[in-house]
């Protein structure tokens, strides 16, 4: 009897699958691929295909009008001998290192205010989030350029206060602060994420800390920051990647040339100039892959070092 019972599971496992069941599974598979087809076509045609093409072009001399000519690593070697390329790298790094922390600090500060018991929270959340809905659009860049030009609203306001600025757009020393103010003004997206993270911090921790005599600053550094560290890491990662890819606002404000005196010659803007104005698509492709490599390395480094300061709930260190 026991031998028969032991034999049944083995027989069921080796039993042939009914033909109707196999046909039904194949039909489900075809249906799944049919629904995935638009995305798959878009991915291979609009993303993977152009990426592979640009990887090939990075090793060629290609001017958009003649057939690409293979030149090996020459484009990558030219990068480090190009003073304008090095200038674009410097400007972009300054923008990332200054603009990203300031933007995140503003987003966190406003999120802390909105997390407190204030009347009209829904209105303030919508108002602070609205600039992020617009994004780094052409219209916003045009308005921003007009505001900070000579005789613009900002110039008139500073002149009325006794600070004659003469406009920020034409002053190389003021264009970077102007660009940082623009990205900081659009802090709505990370603010919403910070606010969602603050809602998940247990109130009991703050109450216990208050009983122990901890002040507001102590509670912030000992409770809020550690509990919010995964959200901080997420926002830091996204905003860093986005900052490296700034283009539209720099293009509009500088007139597409990176002026004045190259003060707005961001990396992607110089890539555009090389590829579409100078018709050096091979050189521009090398620049694009160099940017992708740097962003990949920075992302990997951030993930690697996150274990030292990112604390997840229930995780033992």
Examine the fold and report which residue of 74, 90, 108 is the final residue of a domain before the chain moves on: 74
Distance (Å, whole) CA 194 – CA 132: 14
Distance (Å, whole) CA 19 – CA 95: 63
Distance (Å, whole) CA 287 – CA 156: 40
Give yes or no: residues 52 and 29 share one domain.
Answer: yes
Distance (Å, whole) CA 130 – CA 188: 7
The answer to whether the Cα torsion of 220, 224, 230, 234 is positive or negative is negative
Give me the residues paired with residue 69 across strands. 61
Provide the whole-model pTM. 0.86
Instruction: Tell me whether residue 8 is in a domain.
Output: no
Instruction: Tell me whether residue 2 is in a domain.
Output: no
214 preceded by cis ω (within 30°)? no
> Under a CB-based contact definition with an 8 Å cutoff, are residues 266 and 92 in contact?
yes
pLDDT of residue 11: 53
Give yes or no: residues 292 and 212 share one domain.
Answer: yes
Closest CA to 174 of 243, 260, 241, 116: 260
DSSP, collapsed to helix, strand or coil, labels residue 70 as: strand
Instruction: Tell me whether residue 60 is in a domain.
Output: yes
Distance (Å, whole) CA 248 – CA 239: 16
Q: Write the CATH number for 278.
A: 1.10.3720.10
Matching residue, tokens 């703050």:
206
Mean pLDDT, rounded, of the chain: 87
Give yes or no: residues 66 and 194 share one domain.
Answer: no
Query: Which domain range does residue 142 map to?
Result: 76-306
Instruction: Tell me whether residue 315 is in a domain.
Output: no
Give me the residues paired with residue 60 across strands. 70
Give yes or no: residues 245 and 113 share one domain.
Answer: yes
Give yes or no: residues 90 and 145 share one domain.
Answer: yes
Pairing of strands 60-61, 69-70: antiparallel
Give yes or no: residues 227 and 300 share one domain.
Answer: yes
Query: What tokens were used for 1?
Result: 């009897």
Closest CA to 91 of 180, 14, 31, 155: 180
Render pLDDT for 120-148 as a digit per residue (tens, 0 to 9).
Answer: 777 888 888 888 777 657 888 888 888 88
Give the chain's residues under pLDDT 50. Answer: 1-4, 7, 317
Instruction: Tell me whether residue 97 is in a domain.
Output: yes
Query: What tokens were used for 133?
Result: 């809905």
Give yes or no: residues 49 and 92 share one domain.
Answer: no
Give yes or no: residues 126 and 43 share one domain.
Answer: no
Matching residue, tokens 């996150």:
306
């Amino acid at each position: 009897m026991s031998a028969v019972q032991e034999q049944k599971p083995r027989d069921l496992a080796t039993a042939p699958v009914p033909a109707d069941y196999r046909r039904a599974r194949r039909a489900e598979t075809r249906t799944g691929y049919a629904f995935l087809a638009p995305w798959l076509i878009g991915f291979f045609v609009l993303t993977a295909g152009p990426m592979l093409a640009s990887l090939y072009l990075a090793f060629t001399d290609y001017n958009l009008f003649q057939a690409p000519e293979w030149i090996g690593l020459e484009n990558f070697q030219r990068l480090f001998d190009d003073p304008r390329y090095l200038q674009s790298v410097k400007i972009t790094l300054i923008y990332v290192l200054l603009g990203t922390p300031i933007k995140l600090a503003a987003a966190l500060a406003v999120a802390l205010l909105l997390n407190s018991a204030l009347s009209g929270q829904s209105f303030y959340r919508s108002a602070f989030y609205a600039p992020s809905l617009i994004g780094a659009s052409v219209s916003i860049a045009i308005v921003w350029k007009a505001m900070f030009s000579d005789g613009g609203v900002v110039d008139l306001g500073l002149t009325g206060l006794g600070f004659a600025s003469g406009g920020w757009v034409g002053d190389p020393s003021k264009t970077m602060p102007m660009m940082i103010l623009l990205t900081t003004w659009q802090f709505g997206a990370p603010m919403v994420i910070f606010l969602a993270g603050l809602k998940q911090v247990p109130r009991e921790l703050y109450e216990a800390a208050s009983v122990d005599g901890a002040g507001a600053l102590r509670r912030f550094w000992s409770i809020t920051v550690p509990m919010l560290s995964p959200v901080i890491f997420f926002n830091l990662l996204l905003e860093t990647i986005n900052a490296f890819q700034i283009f539209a606002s720099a293009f509009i404000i500088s007139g597409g040339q990176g002026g004045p005196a190259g003060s707005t010659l961001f990396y992607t803007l110089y890539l555009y100039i090389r590829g579409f104005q100078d018709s050096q698509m091979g050189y521009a492709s090398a620049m694009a892959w160099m940017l992708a490599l740097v962003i990949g390395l920075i992302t990997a480094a951030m993930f690697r070092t996150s274990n030292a300061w990112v604390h997840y709930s229930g995780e033992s260190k």
